[in-house]
């Protein structure tokens, strides 16, 4: 298993605080898949407004975390070093549960299709083994 800490992740993808949505990578295969996680704390900026009475991680940020996990897989290929993976589309998206402070959000994105600079990743987010979100994410590699 290949692991990456936060500093190694930042060498691959351009995201930084407060928009870096992954804390670590537990396993990955360049161009194939990445498995990571985010430790969700009450101090996340978005909880101040979503929702103060019942803090819930916004679904779009769960998708962003999944996309960043997929970007690690794609941008760890030598030919993509220093490039950016852009969002192209979100398809077949389903939210199946809440992510709240204290959760460890597990993120898995597998690249299922690639053609030139474009591709699709099959992404799954879970908490405690229960799936909270699923989607197909289309990406494009840019300079």
The label of the residue with tokens 């975390």 reads 65
Residue 87 C-beta-side C-alpha neighbours within 13 Å = 14
Is 15 among the catalytic positions? no
Structure tokens at 27: 């396993």
Catalytic residue among 8, 31, 50, 100: 50
List Cβ neighbours of 11 (8 Å cut-off, separation of 6 or more). Answer: none
Q: Please list the alpha-helical segments (H only) found in the chain.
A: 6-12, 59-75
Structure tokens at 46: 């978005």
Per the CB < 8 A criterion, the answer to whether 135 and 65 are in contact is: no
Active centre residues (catalytic) = 50
């Amino acid at each position: 298993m290949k692991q990456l800490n936060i500093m190694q992740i930042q060498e691959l993808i351009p995201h930084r605080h407060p928009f870096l949505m992954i804390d670590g990578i537990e396993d990955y295969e360049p161009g194939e898949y990445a498995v990571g996680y985010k430790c969700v704390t009450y101090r996340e900026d978005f909880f101040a407004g979503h929702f103060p009475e019942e803090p819930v991680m916004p679904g779009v940020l769960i998708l962003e975390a999944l996309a960043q996990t997929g970007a690690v897989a794609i941008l760890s290929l030598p030919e993509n070093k220093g490039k950016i993976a852009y969002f192209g589309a979100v398809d077949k998206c389903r939210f199946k549960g809440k992510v709240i402070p204290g959760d460890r959000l597990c993120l898995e994105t597998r690249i299922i299709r690639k053609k030139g600079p474009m591709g699709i990743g099959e992404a799954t987010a879970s908490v405690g083994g229960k799936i909270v979100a699923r989607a197909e994410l289309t990406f494009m590699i840019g300079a």
